[in-house]
Amino acid sequence: MTGANASSGASGPYLRIERLNKQFGSFSALKDISLEINEGEFVCFLGPSGCGKTTLLRAIAGLDIQTSGRIFQAGKEISNLPSSHRDFGIVFQSYALFPNLNVTSNVGYGLVSRGLPRVEIETRVKDLLRLVGLPESGRKYPSQLSGGQQQRVAVARALALSPGLLLLDEPLSALDARVRAHLRVEIRRLHQRLGVTTVMVTHDQEEALTMADRIVVMNQGVIEQVGTPTEVYRKPASAFVADFVGTTNFLPGVVAGPGHVRFGEINLACELDVHFGPGNDVTLAIRPEDVVIRNIGPATPNTFSARVAEVEFLGSFCRVGLAVNGGDPALLADFSINAVRDLGIAEGKVMPVALPPDRLRVFPRAPKTP
């Protein structure tokens, strides 16, 4: 079956993964993974090296069959279908083009294998090369193209058979930063134009935040969180997610009572889950950009005094190390250049800061929690 607009054939998600496990010998690379992806979504698997994201992608493609669990695509179970019988196009990190074939032949390879008429193939390849911005490069060989151009050819080749699913395995990580940023936007645009359900593996949080409709954050073979980029950034489900995505301050705290945590001498109001009880050790998390220094009044909650220990100029903003509770810098805070100038922020200055209760996240303090 082919067709970028292939309907799921049944109401429900386009791709459904049920309790997937993958063992390599005694090592569990995937542990009971369940996930649903809707038709037309752009989903990123994000996580550190070795978390299992590539293994999951390869299971979807049938390149590495799972040890247990089931996979459904467009309402059909594909768990044990060989890769060649599945409906996907794939792009790998290394461009994986045939070096002895020119661009046209690379892109048209799958179409030729299918025995399509020559004229039809020529038209389709031309359309695809136009789509990826390489209309003039059909006669060139891979060695005559830049890394970014080769990866565009790989994308065109993956789309040649109009697959229902586009799988991208770290497609940008071999490219230099400028090309990567450019191609990021292009792939996203391409997806918006074609609407093909897309799954991309990446370890680059910026890539995931800018490209994905939803991000699946993975760690050690399990899913830590599934959410939109905003949800994952603003409401990380665990200390791991808060640490892996963006910059976060972690502060040790002890639950003081309902909706209150003590951080050293400071009593902080926060949204506290009911399962935390008084005396529980917790980790408080807050993003540097959420630390407030302007418009602090007597009624502003979670206000305390902090000493500026260091100021790092980062172009459009300053990252300021704040010492609280009389100790070493415990809190990083990002302030605009204007705020730094207007408030005269400099090393040694003592000033009030506030941590808005709705910006504080509270996690159990696991032995290994930062």
Pick 51 or 175: Cβ nearer ligand ATP: 51
55 binds ligand ATP (CB under 6 A): yes
Pick 29 or 165: Cβ nearer ligand ATP: 29
54 binds ligand ATP (CB under 6 A): yes
In DSSP terms, 311 is beta-bridged to 320
Pick 86 or 203: Cβ nearer ligand ATP: 203
Binding ligand ATP (rule: CB under 6 A), the pick from 21, 31, 50, 357 is 50
List of E strands, the chain: 15-24, 27-37, 42-46, 68-73, 76-77, 88-91, 165-169, 197-202, 214-219, 222-227, 249-257, 260-263, 266-269, 281-286, 303-313, 317-323, 329-336, 350-354, 361-364
Question: What does the CA dihedral 72, 202, 208, 108 come to, rounded to 10 degrees?
Answer: -70
Please give the structure tokens belonging to residue 265.
């001498």
Position 144, amino acid: Q
51 binds ligand ATP (CB under 6 A): yes
Min dist. Cβ of residue 202 to ligand ATP (A): 8
Choices 47-55, 127-135, 271-279, 280-288; region in contact with ligand ATP by CB under 6 A: 47-55
Number of H helices, E strands in the chain: 9, 19
Choices 24-32, 190-198, 227-235, 274-282; region in contact with ligand ATP by CB under 6 A: 24-32
Binding ligand ATP (rule: CB under 6 A), the pick from 49, 84, 143, 316 is 49
Point out the residue whose Cβ comes nearest to ligand ATP. Answer: 54
Binding ligand ATP (rule: CB under 6 A), the pick from 29, 35, 167, 223 is 29
Residue 64 neighbours by CB distance under 10 Å: 18
Choices 12-20, 43-51, 72-80, 301-309; region in contact with ligand ATP by CB under 6 A: 43-51
Q: Find tokens 């949080």 and name the residue.
A: 205
Min dist. Cβ of residue 35 to ligand ATP (A): 15
172 binds ligand ATP (CB under 6 A): no
Binding ligand ATP (rule: CB under 6 A), the pick from 13, 52, 288, 321 is 52
Q: Which residues lie below 8 Å from residue 167, measured CB to CB, with a gap of 6+? A: 57, 60, 61, 88, 89, 90, 91, 158, 198, 199, 200
3-state DSSP assignment of residue 77: strand
Pick 162 or 220: Cβ nearer ligand ATP: 220
Residue from 107, 22, 29, 98 nearest 65 by CA? 22
Footprint (CB under 6 A) of ligand ATP, residues 187-246: 203
313 binds ligand ATP (CB under 6 A): no
Min dist. Cβ of residue 334 to ligand ATP (A): 29
191 vs 210: CA distance, rounded Å: 13
Please give the structure tokens belonging to residue 244.
């892996």
Min dist. Cβ of residue 146 to ligand ATP (A): 24
Please give the structure tokens belonging to residue 254.
């002890």
Give the interface with ligand ATP as residue ranges (CB under 6 A): 24, 27, 29, 47, 49-55, 203
